[in-house]
Chains A and B, each alone.
Chain A
Amino acid sequence: MTRSDVTAQVGQDSQGERRAQAAAAPLPGALAIGLRRGVVELKQFFRQAEFVVFTFSLPAIILILLGSTFGDTDPAAGVNVSQILTASMIAAGFISTSFISMGVGVALDRQAGTLKRLRGTPMPATSYFIGKAVLVAVASVAQVTLLLVVGTVLFDLTLPTEPAQWLTFTWVFLLGIGSCTLLGIAASAIARGANAAAAATNLIYLTLNFTSGVFITISALPDAMVTASSIFPVKWIAQGMRSVFLPEEAAAAELAGQWELGTAALVIGAWLLVGLLLARWTFRWTNEPG
């Protein structure tokens, strides 16, 4: 008997045994794997110091620069422009930690072969997205906290005391990061490669923040520009955040003269569905031809 004959025979016995055991042992659940992926995603995110600093500091720096430049009272809103900016930039902050982070992060996972390697394991796709959702949630809460600190310390932003306002905050935040995460995942697949994804998501992000009245107050922008931007979610997420952090009378400065929370919910909710469909249709595990 040659070595390979022996190996083959030993192999077949233990193979048969293994098959029987493999068939019996239950596969780990998608949620359990997803939460473990969340831990791994967070470790990877927070260990890349330069990435963390850039992600978190950019919205804060923009807020400090713009808030210090346009500090005067907005006559239409009756509050300081810096407070309006803070409320809007909170939205921009978590749009960044969801839309841009996912657009670039998933594209990087595809480019580095992480996704292809995962595809070769019994990890369900759902678990990968649960892991990403954990990362987005933690990074977004951290981002919002940082901007709230900057806003209250530098620009006299007062935190709302009404539970109703915190309720609004919660649903706008959740719908916002949900839709932007899904749209980011879709953007990662539409762009080819991580650099293209970074360029595309940043361009969309900066443009919409400008035209939706985030970087510059709505009252200072041409009506037509804001109206055109109203089909996109950024305007409505920012408006929702302004309704939470600004006094009721500041609604007068909005295009419609009110907060329009119902419309905001509809538009952001619609983008959540669009994002879900786009992410599903466009998702792929590699950049290679199948």
Chain B
Amino acid sequence: MSMTRFLVRRIFEIVVTLFIIATLIFVLFRVMPGDPAAMVVNPKMTPELKEILRMRFGLDKPLWEQYVIYVNNLLHGEFGTSFYWEGDVFDILKTRIFPTILLFTTGTLLAYALGVNLGRIIAWRRGGNLEYGFTVGGLFFLTMPIFWIGLLAIWLLSYRLDVFPVGGMITPEIWSAPGGVSLLTKIADVGYHLFLPLTVYTIVIFAGNMLLMKNSMLETLKEDYIITARAKGLPEKKVRDHHAARNAMLPVVTALSLAMAFSFNGGVITETTFSWPGLGRTLVQASLSHDYPLAQGAFIMLAGVVLMAVLAADILYAYLDPRITY
């Protein structure tokens, strides 16, 4: 099967999955005890506004008709009105997608680069203190609660040493300075805010990759072609990087798409700890304040981002392993 056909099939699968998720969410919010209207209509609203919303979501109609309206609304990017922000859910979420993708993409790439390289090096020096130290360290990072590392980092670097901001993504004073600011200043400001959440997120994600890479590398080093490469008198570095590491990387890349759920769990917690204005933190806030329309929208949006990330990982895998045909 060609790449295009594979892509078309996968995108179709993603759409079907999102549809199933949206349906389950509809059921979830409708089977809850109490007035179903309470799930879409803000109790604080005036009776006239409530009536308008009831009409728009067809809340006086039978359930199946409500479902049709719901799906139709979703297809038009209409997620309803946030109770808390009192604005259109889609408009709110639009601004939250980029921060999530920024943190997730940079973090995942860094975590993989770090994990693969460290894993390669410590496996090569197996039996030494270096391997022991990094393995123990990796195990700790793997089991430490991400928000707790975050709090320790904020405590040490923001509160004690005052080198990094406590949270957020931008310094409003810089962005709204009279006369406007250059793009470079804006990027630098975001980078400055990104540093801590990115570091904490990377630390938690890289440990698993490092340990996996180490194990995979140790397996690969037993292969006959490694002995051959050495017998040929190739330089050690070449044997390690070109003969062993390249093959040892495959399980790590396979794990990339499987570990996506784990990464996003970590991402949601990181965003919340550092007040990073992404989809995850929005979902947490919406859940805590019972802002049903916003919670629904944020979840569906986040699910979409996760599914796209898995797709990207699958494409990467096919690109790295030429043996894969669809």
Our verdict on whether A and B bind, yes or no, reads no
Residues on B close to A: CB < 8 A?
Answer: none
